[in-house]
Chains A and B, each alone.
Chain A
Amino acid sequence: MNINNPHITPYGDHSILVQWVPVMDQKINQKIHALSKIIRTWKDVEDTIAGYCELLIVFRDQLNRLDLLSDSITQILEDLDSESNLENNVKLIEVPVCYNSRFGYDLDNMCYVKGISKEELVDFHTQPTYHVFMIGFLPGFPYLGGLNKILYQARLDHPRPEVSQGSVGIAGNQTGIYTCKSPGGWNIIGRSPIRFFFPECDPPCLIEPGDKVRFKAIEEEQFFEMKEKSDHQTFDFQTLISEWKS
């Protein structure tokens, strides 16, 4: 499939689905987010939801003329090619994480299964720069791709009834952050002290689709200092954000 000729199909009466091959591909995903930004400016579009390799476009009214729509989408994708860099204006967010068995319920088990030390696990998890493929599951929950293969780990057989807000987990080849308290089946290896979801703000999420994320290991003492500030809204989130340069 040509990257500029995705499969376009109606999904219900009000939406269309733009589909690429079902793989985790950063280049395709960047294009999806760029396309999504443009399409959201269309008057008749209520919302867009980007997946790894799909873009759902929700219209305000019932759909007609799917053929015209397909043509404009292909045109936008081709125009995006001629633009210099899809990664312009992408944020890099450095997320502080306290990796220990108190917060990381599955940290010891992960180390045991992988035959590595806690320090090695932390190194493997903090080295990559992750790509935010999509936001979903919970408000603001980032699905991050780019995990070191050594850390690939299947979801828990029995999801936990409650995973704390800020928990950092691994599921298969993805890593992510529980932005709200929730039931969940990811392997939890640590916890971040900061807030990621702000219902009173627009945009409401610190991390947005298409952004880049790096994790930084912190000690428990720093965790509580930062958490105190984050809870009392005196934490300066701008200190975590920089412009991404590839």
Chain B
Amino acid sequence: MEILKVVHISTFASIQDMGRGGYKRYGIPSSGYLDSVAAVNTNITCGNPPGTALIEFYYQSPVFKILHPCHVAVGGVHTVAIVNEIRQKSSAIILEKDDIFKVHLEKGLVGYISLYGGIKCKAAFNSHSYHSQIGLGGYRLEKDMIIVGNDKVGNPNFTRSKILAPDYSNTRIEVNGGPEFHLLSERQKEILLNQSYSIRSDSNRMSIICDSSHWVHVDNSMISVPVFPGTVQLPPSGKPIILLQDCQVSGGYPRVLVIKPSSVPVLVQKKPGESFDFQFKG
């Protein structure tokens, strides 16, 4: 059933779910929700199962025209649904035909829109998550595109309780040492772990690129090794690269740190220019 039409879009938005596991040996990245806590909670608010495919957007929400009455929920760090220019009090709302709907991110970088019953789109390797470079799975939202929902009857199920949200204002990102951490000298470790970093604007779903005042240069003559989201690589530039959900399965830079899964939602919600530092957990 045709539910929403994209009438305006300015930043990257795509369909995501829990991502695909089990195919990395073929070079297929996992993809999936950047902030899995906010995404799952948005689905729960909507009455959907936690891993339902939904719309994930960066910076600014697309603007939709409603083609068929529907039930949606919005989520992120702090989001407000706006219907026909009116701010809504609830994050779970019922939309009527011809309503104009968008979301405002009061805080945070990544927002979610869950449609009751889920979104109909193609799956690849057991997941609807769209990969931003390869184009696998779901799709990227574009102007005039029509979002098709699964036909779903009955009322939303609100019985599930939400996951406890992390403290998004926290600027300390918890990390463990990565496989090449031991290659660093004591002085390099001290610099890496004690300075603060800011997020660069060329970050995307593949990686966050960091800026800092001191660079740590390490020998980069490595042969390709396996990596996964959350790994912090140190390329010859000395600017750490933090791999995210759409990252490749292998890389050739030293893997110096690994972000604790509980800190990933906090990190991905930081906007370009915002700062953070690493808290070493061993």
Residues in chain A within 8 A of chain B (CB atoms): 9-15, 17, 19, 22-24, 36, 40, 46-56, 58, 134-141, 143, 179-180, 182, 199, 203-205, 208-209
Q: Are A11 and B179 in contact (CB under 8 A)?
A: yes
Decide if B21 is an interface residue (CB 8 Å cutoff): yes
How far does the alpha carbon of A153 sit from the alpha carbon of B23 in the complex, in Å? 31
| The residue from B27, B179, B261 contacting A139, defined by CB atoms under 8 A apart | B27
B218 within 8 Å of A (CB atoms): no
Query: With contacts A51-B225, A135-B27 known, what are 20 further pairs, Cβ within 8 A?
Result: A11-B178, A11-B179, A11-B255, A17-B226, A24-B223, A36-B25, A46-B22, A47-B23, A49-B226, A49-B250, A51-B223, A54-B225, A56-B226, A56-B228, A135-B249, A136-B249, A137-B224, A139-B136, A204-B23, A204-B26
User: Residue A49 contacts which of B25, B136, B179 (CB distance < 8 angstroms)?
Assistant: B25
Residues of A within 8 A of B249 (CB): 49, 135-136
A23 to chain B, nearest CB (A): 8
Question: A40 contacts which chain B residues (CB < 8 A)?
Answer: 25
Interface residues of B in 222-239 (CB under 8 A from A): 222-226, 228, 230-231
Known A-B contacts A11-B178, A58-B228, A204-B125; the reply to A22 vs B223 at CB < 8 A is yes
Q: How far is the CA of A179 from the CA of B27 in the complex (A)?
A: 10
User: Shortest CB–CB separation between residue B34 and chain A, in angstroms?
Assistant: 17
Whether a CB of chain A sits under 8 angstroms from the CB of B153 is: no
A14 CB, nearest partner CB in chain B, Å: 8
Q: How far is the CB of A104 from chain B (nearest CB, A)?
A: 23
The dominant DSSP class at the B interface is: loop
State whether A53 and B223 are in contact (beta carbons under 8 Å apart), knowing that A58-B228, A136-B249, A140-B27 are contacts in the complex. Answer: yes
- In the complex, the answer to whether A49 meets B176 with C-beta atoms within 8 Å is no
B135's nearest neighbour on chain A, judged by CB, is A180
CB distance from A141 to the nearest CB of B (A): 6
> Cα distance A199–B125 when bound, in Å?
7
Which of chain A's residues have a CB closer than 8 A to the CB of B230? Answer: 12
A143 CA / B255 CA spacing, docked (Å): 20
Whether A12 and B223, one on each chain, are in contact in the complex, defined by CB atoms closer than 8 angstroms, is no
Are A47 and B179 in touch, CB under 8 angstroms?
Answer: no
Output the least CB separation between A175 and chain B (Å): 14
Residue of B nearest to A49 (CB): B226
Q: Is B104 an interface residue (CB 8 A)?
A: no
Asked whether B248 lies within 8 Å of A136 as measured between CB atoms, the reply is yes
Question: Given A11, A14, A136, which contacts B27 in the complex, CB threshold below 8 Å?
Answer: A136
* B22 x A13 contact (CB < 8 A): no
Residues from chain B with a CB closer than 8 A to the CB of A48 are 24-25
B94 lies within 8 A of chain A by Cβ: no
Instruction: Say yes or no: A58 contacts B24, CB within 8 Å.
Output: yes
In the complex, B124 has a CB within 8 A of chain A: yes
Docked complex Cα distance between A10 and B255 (Å):
13
Known: A17-B179, A47-B22. A204 touches B28 (CB 8 A): yes
Q: Are B134 and A203 closer than 8 Å at their CB atoms?
A: no
Say whether A12 contacts B134, CB under 8 Å. Answer: no
Chain B residues, CB < 8 A from A47: 21-25
- Residues in B with CB closer than 8 Å to A51 are 223-226, 250
Query: Of residues 248 to 266 in B, which have CB atoms within 8 Å of A's CB atoms?
Result: 248-250, 255, 258, 260-261
Q: Does B155 contact A (CB under 8 A)?
A: no
Q: B250 touching A9 by the CB < 8 A rule? A: no
Query: A13 is contacted by which of B23, B26, B222, B260 (Cβ under 8 Å)?
Result: B260
Q: How far is the CA of A24 from the CA of B176 in the complex (A)?
A: 28
Q: Are B222 and A180 within 8 A (Cβ)? A: no
Cβ–Cβ contact A134 & B250, under 8 A: yes
- Pair A54/B258 contact, Cβ less than 8 Å: no
**Residues in chain B near residue A140, CB distance under 8 A:** 26-27
